[in-house]
Amino acid sequence: MYLLYVDQSGNPLDNNDDYFVLGGVALFERKVYWVNEAVDDLTENLFGPDYKISLRAQAINSHKYDPWHSMPTDQRLAVLADLCEITSQPDLVLFGVAVDKDFAPDPVARAFEEICNRFDLFLKRLHAQENTQRGLIIFERSKYEQTLAPFITEYRNQNTRFGQVKNFADAPAFADSNGTRLLDLAHLVSYAIYRRYQRANTMLLDQLIYNFDEEGGVIHGLVHLTRGAENCYCPSCLTRARRAPTQPHQETFRPGASAPRARTGSSEPTEA
Ligand SMILES: [Zn+2]
């Protein structure tokens, strides 16, 4: 089974935010332990074994509160770079949706629907490569229970709006951020995307971009929903504008091997 941990950036109710973003990290279930260990080791190297803290990219970058407030800038940037390095392991596949609020009347629903479909398309591709896997999306409990509860209920009760999603083991679930380090990495992904589109700051996304789900030169895992996307030069819009000609599949992905990011060919007619 593949697990996709998702977090959000941008406040859908704040008029100062032009964008709402969902971003996440997908990995094979047996990899979860090792990624948690890597983030725990990073934390222990910084603060010792008894200091428990979430490594939230927004808190590290804004450094309003300790321990980040009193940490020198170069050390904070090194922590962010270490988090990006962990998130850029070959077995981790990234997904993200940046919704311009002018594009969609309900950016939360649109982002939720899109990230479900993108993850499902990834699982469909694995199936086409004779590697059938189910998927499960896990959101951070504190942020999503109120925001996404109506959509989760709709998913469970009707399964119509998300009718294209066919490879999930169950409806999306919630987890506490202090229970898994994967939600720290999901936050890093969503925050990196938010910084790219809201602040035009590519520092974090540049370190993560090669791990987004990709096939045939198109970054399917990163979606930019905005008016005038045909004139946008972000990695998502640019790779779609320069879509490579379709070619046959040339490799097969197995759990434990490097994740399928740079595929040739397409078995996903609905991808765009
Ligand atoms: Zn774009």
Nearest CA to 23 out of 194, 219, 237, 146 is that of 194
State the distance from the centre of ligand 1 to the C-alpha of 219, rounded, in angstroms.
11
Backbone region of residue 251 per phi and psi (left: phi > 0; alpha: psi in -120 to 50; beta: other values): beta
Going by pLDDT thresholds of 50, 70 and 90, the confidence category of residue 157 is low
State the distance from the centre of ligand 1 to the C-alpha of 56, rounded, in angstroms.
25
Asked if residue 194 lies in contact with residue 224, where contact means CB atoms within 8 angstroms, the answer is no
Going by pLDDT thresholds of 50, 70 and 90, the confidence category of residue 143 is low
Going by pLDDT thresholds of 50, 70 and 90, the confidence category of residue 163 is low
Question: In the prediction, which pLDDT does 268 show?
Answer: 36
Mean pLDDT across 111-130 = 90
Q: What is the ipTM metric for this complex? A: 0.99
Give the mean pLDDT of the chain: 83
Question: In the prediction, which pLDDT does 216 show?
Answer: 86
Lowest mean pLDDT among 55-64, 126-135, 202-211, 262-271: 262-271
User: Which tokens is 123 given?
Assistant: 């699982």
State the distance from the centre of ligand 1 to the C-alpha of 77, rounded, in angstroms.
26
State the distance from the centre of ligand 1 to the C-alpha of 112, rounded, in angstroms.
18
Asked if residue 167 lies in contact with residue 127, where contact means CB atoms within 8 angstroms, the answer is yes
State the distance from the centre of ligand 1 to the C-alpha of 226, rounded, in angstroms.
7
Nearest CA to 61 out of 77, 75, 74 is that of 77
Domains of the chain, each with CATH number or no CATH: 2-241 (3.30.420)
Mean pLDDT across 102-112 = 88
State the distance from the centre of ligand 1 to the C-alpha of 205, rounded, in angstroms.
13
Phi and psi at 233, nearest 5°, equal -110, 25
Bigger pLDDT: 264 or 217?
A: 217
Bigger pLDDT: 5 or 249?
A: 5
Mean pLDDT across 249-270 = 38
State the distance from the centre of ligand 1 to the C-alpha of 76, rounded, in angstroms.
29
Mean pLDDT across 98-113 = 90
State the distance from the centre of ligand 1 to the C-alpha of 44, rounded, in angstroms.
38
Mean pLDDT across 228-240 = 87
Nearest CA to 151 out of 138, 136, 162, 140 is that of 162
